Amino acid sequence: MQETTVSGWFDSHCHIQDQYLPEGADAVAALVEAHESGVGGVVCVGTDAASSAGAIALAGRSPSEPGAAGGCRVWATVGLHPHQAVEGVAPLAELLEGAAAELPGAVVAVGECGLDYHYDHSPRDAQLRAFREQVRLAKQHGLALVVHTREAWDDTFDLLESEGPPERLVMHCFTGGPEEARRCLQIGAYLSFSGIVTFRNAEDVREAALACPAERLLVETDAPFLAPVPHRGKPNRPAWVRLVGESLAALRGSPPEELAASSRAAAMRVFAIG
């Protein structure tokens, strides 16, 4: 396989498919802006069959050389969010097989999947079933797993432990404290920190970020959600991953370039890019 080089910041989790973008915005413009802000790569995350297909289509526009799709490289995930768990994972398997045949390397993970007991938009038994099936899909396809968990730590750990966690595992938008961080690290997970680390009331998330070894720490925007300070409340964009990263660097007392490099390397390792 050809070696992949990516420089600058790496947004390990964003949603820049059409249905997520603010009115009048488009993905290529978001990627051009990200590139100009020093972002070399993003992972565009699927939350249902349609947005997973959208993520694959975007990745398909930049699979070979940097410079395509606005200079910032894009990889995709295929997943079913716990909110949509009732829809079932059947279409995901089909998407994974199609992408593996047509765009090898474009899909790097299954997810985001997991449990959201804060909103409970899907019944919990459906959430648990969809999560379990996606753990199995990730293993079956040799892909990373991207996990969303909210107010459901115990069931999340129970399910991952009973299935056996996939070798490459990302806890996206990490919102636990140091104790949850320790448990995640223990099962081999990478912790991905979002703009929440810039929010005033997120002291325990910052403590978790301080406790996370650099080689397991990822940076994400979760755009269009969770815009970092000083843009809080606006639609988020991959370009702002730099603000999240700089805030983490300041917190950890490390130079931003060093954190950009370590988090980029960690992202490329966990997603097996390059």
* Least distance between Zn ion and beta carbon 1 (Å): 28
Q: Whole-angstrom distance between the N-terminal and C-terminal Cα of the chain?
A: 8
Alpha carbons 130 and 163: distance in angstroms, whole number: 13
The half-sphere exposure of 244 on its side-chain side, counting CA atoms within 13 A, is 35
Q: Name the residue nearer to Zn ion (CB basis): 192 or 198.
A: 192
Restricted to residues 183-212, the positions that interact with Zn ion (CB under 5 A) are none
Q: Name the residue nearer to Zn ion (CB basis): 180 or 222.
A: 222
* Least distance between Zn ion and beta carbon 13 (Å): 6
Contact residues for 198 (Cβ-Cβ < 8 A; gap 6+): 228, 229, 232, 243, 244, 247
Q: Name the residue nearer to Zn ion (CB basis): 77 or 262.
A: 77
* Least distance between Zn ion and beta carbon 101 (Å): 26
Alpha carbons 221 and 267: distance in angstroms, whole number: 13
DSSP 138: H
Q: Name the residue nearer to Zn ion (CB basis): 48 or 222.
A: 222
* Least distance between Zn ion and beta carbon 52 (Å): 12
Q: Name the residue nearer to Zn ion (CB basis): 133 or 222.
A: 222
Alpha carbons 141 and 136: distance in angstroms, whole number: 9
Q: Which residue is nearest to Zn ion (CB)?
A: 222
Number of residues that bind Zn ion (CB under 5 A): 1
Q: Name the residue nearer to Zn ion (CB basis): 30 or 161.
A: 30
Identify which range of 124-132, 158-166, 200-208, 214-222 contacts Zn ion by CB under 5 A: 214-222
* Least distance between Zn ion and beta carbon 172 (Å): 6
Q: Is the CB of residue 69 less than 8 Å from the CB of residue 31?
A: yes
Q: Name the residue nearer to Zn ion (CB basis): 40 or 111.
A: 111
* Least distance between Zn ion and beta carbon 148 (Å): 7
* Least distance between Zn ion and beta carbon 196 (Å): 12
Interaction pattern, residues 125-164, with Zn ion; x per rule: CB under 5 A: ----------------------------------------
For 85, phi then psi, to 5°, come to -55, -30
Per-residue exposure over 159-186, b if at least 16 CB sit within 10 Å of its own CB, e if not:
bbeebebbebbbbbbbbbbbebbebbbe
* Least distance between Zn ion and beta carbon 153 (Å): 18
Helix axes 49-60, 90-102, angle to 10 degrees: 10
- Omega of the bond prior to 230 within 30 degrees of 0, cis? yes
At which residue do the structure tokens 């403590």 appear? Answer: 207
Q: Name the residue nearer to Zn ion (CB basis): 124 or 150.
A: 150
At which residue do the structure tokens 């636990």 appear? Answer: 176
Interaction pattern, residues 216-245, with Zn ion; x per rule: CB under 5 A: ------x-----------------------
Contacts to Zn ion by CB under 5 A = 222
